[in-house]
């Protein structure tokens, strides 16, 4: 078996390769041509091998997607026996429907391309919409890092913690985490203007006075959602506030926005390779993969 750590997930890929027994970690040569096009070359013989390609597709997502497509095509061309991809952050998953007339179904384009290039099985992490997985006909696995988050926060000895979902989409996650940590949960209502993309949160008594708070979501992009809920929680007397998510994209000034709003820390996974990646999802993948 050969693990190929893609350019966007070099450390995660190596961690996975080390945790799996008896696998080769393939070296990868990659660069950007002067005109911006991606080039890569896998430095191992993949013929007849089971190959695991690890590549998250966080921003710049089109570039990371192209690299993913290139690795899949290289593995197919080299006559790999089976190709498994682990794409923790599957780009375009928020475009899972056509919301307005004239829009394309972008997530379907991504799934169909991955599958048509010859992938046999795909693993993702906490995908924004499970509907997206229906665009695949190959086996799919949506990994959830909730256990890892609970372990992380349990170690912090928080004071009377409460888990908050910043929108209804994160409600089930917050409830499950609260069950696992034996604490309370609540959620906020968020609406989004489909034309401008602007979000608004509804004011609510969150019962957070003098309590530590964990905000949990799948994605932090601009940080707008988190910042609005943090400000609301602070005005209601919350203590320490943590902003946690599976995919900390942290576009532009998102980190500053969240910290300035009053959060003490941002806790993400290494689905996105940043300094906020405090939780490794390598053991999660290896455990699930080894059970198949």
Alpha carbons 61 and 87: distance in angstroms, whole number: 12
Closest CB to ligand R5P among 49 and 217?
A: 217
Q: Do 96 and 107 meet the contact criterion of CB atoms below 8 Å apart?
A: yes
Determine if 223 is a binding residue for ligand R5P (CB under 6 A): yes
Closest contact distance (angstroms) between CB of 152 and ligand R5P is 20
SS (H, E, C) 252-283: CCHHHHHHHHCCCEEEEECCCCCCCEEECCHH
Strand partners, 265: 242
Closer by beta carbon to ligand R5P, 94 or else 112: 94
Applying CB under 6 A, among 15, 49, 126, 167 the residue interacting with ligand R5P is 167
* Helix, strand or coil, per DSSP, at residue 124: strand
Min dist. Cβ of residue 86 to ligand R5P (A)? 21
* 75/249 with CB nearer ligand R5P: 249
Output the smallest distance, CB 50 to ligand R5P, in A.
Answer: 34
Size of the site for ligand R5P (CB under 6 A): 14
Smallest gap from Cβ 265 to ligand R5P, in A, equals 16
Q: Is 246 in the site for ligand R5P (CB under 6 A)?
A: no
Identity of the residue, 246 or 280, whose beta carbon is nearer to ligand R5P in the bound complex: 246
By beta-carbon proximity to ligand R5P, the closer residue of 80 and 243 is 243
Site string for ligand R5P, 183-222 (x = CB under 6 A): ----------------x-----------------xxxxxx
- 190 carries an active-site annotation: yes
Element containing residue 85 per DSSP (H, E): strand 82-87
Of these residues, 190, 228, 255, 288, which one is catalytic? 190
Q: How far is the CB of 101 from ligand R5P (least distance, A)?
A: 22
The DSSP line for 186-235 is EE--EEE-TTT--EEE-------TT--EEEEEEEESSSHHHHHHHHHHHH
Residue (72 or 230) nearer to ligand R5P, CB: 230
Q: Looking at 169, 204, 262, 283, which residue binds ligand R5P (CB under 6 A)?
A: 169
Q: How far apart are CA 180 and CA 167, in angstroms?
A: 20
**The two three-digit tokens of residue 51, written as one number:** 């190959």
Contacts of 153 (CB under 8 A, 6+ apart): 161, 181, 214, 242, 244, 267
Q: Is-cis flag, bond preceding 264, omega within 30?
A: no
Region of 107-115, 146-154, 161-169, 172-180 interacting with ligand R5P (CB under 6 A): 161-169
Find the shortest distance in angstroms from Cβ 218 to ligand R5P: 5
Q: Which CA distances in Å does 77 have to 34, 41, 50, 70, 200?
A: 26, 12, 14, 10, 48
Residue 59 lies near ligand R5P (rule: CB under 6 A): no
Helical pair 171-181 and 146-154, crossing angle rounded to 10 deg: 50
Residues involved in catalysis: 190
Residues that bind ligand R5P (CB under 6 A): 128, 166-167, 169, 199, 217-225
């Amino acid at each position: 078996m050969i693990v190929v750590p893609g350019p966007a997930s070099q450390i995660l890929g190596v961690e996975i390769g080390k945790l799996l027994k008896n696998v080769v970690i393939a070296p990868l040569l990659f660069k950007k041509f002067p005109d911006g096009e991606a080039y890569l070359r896998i430095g191992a013989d993949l013929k007849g091998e089971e190959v695991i390609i690890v590549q998250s597709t966080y921003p710049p997502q089109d570039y990371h997607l192209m690299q993913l497509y290139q690795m899949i095509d290289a593995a197919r061309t080299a006559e790999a026996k089976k190709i498994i991809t682990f794409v923790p952050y599957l780009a375009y998953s928020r475009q899972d429907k056509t919301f307005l007339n004239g829009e394309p179904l972008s997530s379907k384009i991504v799934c169909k391309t991955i599958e048509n290039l010859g992938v046999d099985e795909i693993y993702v992490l906490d995908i924004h919409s499970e509907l997206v997985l229906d665009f695949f006909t190959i086996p799919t696995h949506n990994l959830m890092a909730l256990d890892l988050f609970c372990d992380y926060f349990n170690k912090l000895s928080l004071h009377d913690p409460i888990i908050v979902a910043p929108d209804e989409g994160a409600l089930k996650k917050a409830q499950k985490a609260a069950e696992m940590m034996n604490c309370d949960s609540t959620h906020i209502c968020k609406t989004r203007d489909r034309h401008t993309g602007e979000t608004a949160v509804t004011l609510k008594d969150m019962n957070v006075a003098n309590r530590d708070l964990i905000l949990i979501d799948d994605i932090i992009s601009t940080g707008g959602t988190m910042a609005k809920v943090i400000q609301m929680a602070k005005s209601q007397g919350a203590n320490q506030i943590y902003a946690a998510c599976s995919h900390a994209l942290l576009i532009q000034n998102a980190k500053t926005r969240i910290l300035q709003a009053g959060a003490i820390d941002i806790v993400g996974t290494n689905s996105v390779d940043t300094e906020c990646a405090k939780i490794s999802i390598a053991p999660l993948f290896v455990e699930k993969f080894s059970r198949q």
